[in-house]
Amino acid sequence: WLANLDYFEQMIAPIGKALVERALFQSGERVIDIGSGGGATTREVARIVAPEGEVLGLDVAPMLVAEAEKRRAEASIGNARFICADASTFRLKEPLFDRLVSRFGSMFFAEPSAAFANMKGLIKANSRIDLAVWGPPSENPWMMEMMSVVRRHIEVPPADPRAPGPFAFGDLDYLNHTLASGGFQDVQIDPYIGQQAIGGAELTTIEVLDFVLSSLGVGRILDEASEAIRTKASEDLLLLFENHFSPGSGVVMNCKAWLVSARS
């Protein structure tokens, strides 16, 4: 993630923008960003809630927290800060916050209901949570077409659709159940349907291949294969990317996410 942070950010920036616009943050609010990563959402929300409001970014990866703090300082944003912590167990030593937000950072908890119950304890009563999570895998060709290529060469066991991972909340029944069991209600969900530039619009097909192999799940699967299989699968992935490439737009594929809001 750290080595390819800018590529990830460019890829999911449109969904992050839609999340923040839908959340309708207000000046003066105190917000916690769950799974803040490199801090892009944290910084954007901090600009909106300034000058009196503030944003606290939580992430389990110390190297990402350090990078987020570096980028915050470079952007001269004084009302944001970052803590290396697990949001499923984190306890506040300060007054409760007004809001929670997470851009693709809430799908990885081993015990999601307990995690959301803990996060509920970080905010005031009747406070709002806003999430962006991936929709069903079948409606995210940007990932499934790549996985289909890999399956031509390697037997990949079917994934548990509710296991912690990018698509854990693709099933709306499970998402609603998790939020309710964590103490959230008045759930509202809007689909985000669009096209996604894999690694951003500026990458060539070869650069997209390098990005995918070094940082996405299909790359980790291929890491365990023989060199011959990796070579052939890489050739097929490159052909896939060439079929979806447009100059100035990059390798563009369809995606679907859920934009979710609820109240504690």
Residue 213 clears pLDDT 90, i.e. is over it: yes
Predicted confidence at residue 2, as pLDDT, reads 85
Phi and psi at residue 142, in whole multiples of 5°? -55, -30
Share of the chain above pLDDT 70, in %: 100
Burial of 65 (0-12, 13-18, 19+ CB in 10 A): buried
Predicted confidence at residue 135, as pLDDT, reads 97
The pLDDT confidence band at residue 232, using thresholds 50, 70 and 90, is: very high
Q: Which residues contact 200 (CB under 8 A, 6 or more apart)?
A: 6, 7, 10, 11, 250
Predicted confidence at residue 261, as pLDDT, reads 98
- Residue 11 contacts residue 198 (beta carbons within 8 Å): yes
Residue 1 clears pLDDT 90, i.e. is over it: no
Predicted confidence at residue 157, as pLDDT, reads 85
Residue 5 clears pLDDT 90, i.e. is over it: yes
Predicted confidence at residue 264, as pLDDT, reads 97
CA-closest candidate to residue 57, choices 24, 78, 32: 32
Q: What is the DSSP letter of 134?
A: E
Q: CA-CA distance, 23 to 144, in Å (whole number)?
A: 29
- Residue 56 contacts residue 31 (beta carbons within 8 Å): yes
Show the beta-strand stretches assigned E in the chain.
Answer: 30-34, 54-59, 80-84, 97-103, 123-134, 185-197, 245-246, 250-263
Q: What is the DSSP letter of 137?
A: G
Predicted confidence at residue 132, as pLDDT, reads 98
Predicted confidence at residue 210, as pLDDT, reads 96
Pairing of strands 250-263, 185-197: antiparallel
The pLDDT confidence band at residue 236, using thresholds 50, 70 and 90, is: very high
- H and E: helices and strands count for the chain: 9, 8
User: 7-33: per-residue pLDDT in tens?
Assistant: 999 999 999 999 999 999 999 999 999
Predicted confidence at residue 158, as pLDDT, reads 83
pTM above 0.85, yes or no: yes
Predicted confidence at residue 222, as pLDDT, reads 94
Q: CA-CA distance, 20 to 55, in Å (whole number)?
A: 13
Cα distances from 103 to residues 42, 129, 239, in angstroms, run 10, 11, 31
User: 107-161: per-residue pLDDT in tens?
Assistant: 999 999 999 999 999 999 999 999 999 999 999 999 999 999 999 999 988 878 8
- Residue 171 contacts residue 160 (beta carbons within 8 Å): no
Predicted confidence at residue 160, as pLDDT, reads 85
Mean pLDDT on 59-72? 98
Torsion of CA 239, 2, 107, 212, to 10 degrees: 10
Predicted confidence at residue 159, as pLDDT, reads 79
Predicted confidence at residue 238, as pLDDT, reads 98
Mean pLDDT on 39-68? 98
Predicted confidence at residue 242, as pLDDT, reads 98
Predicted confidence at residue 161, as pLDDT, reads 84
Q: Which residues contact 248 (CB under 8 A, 6 or more apart)?
A: 201
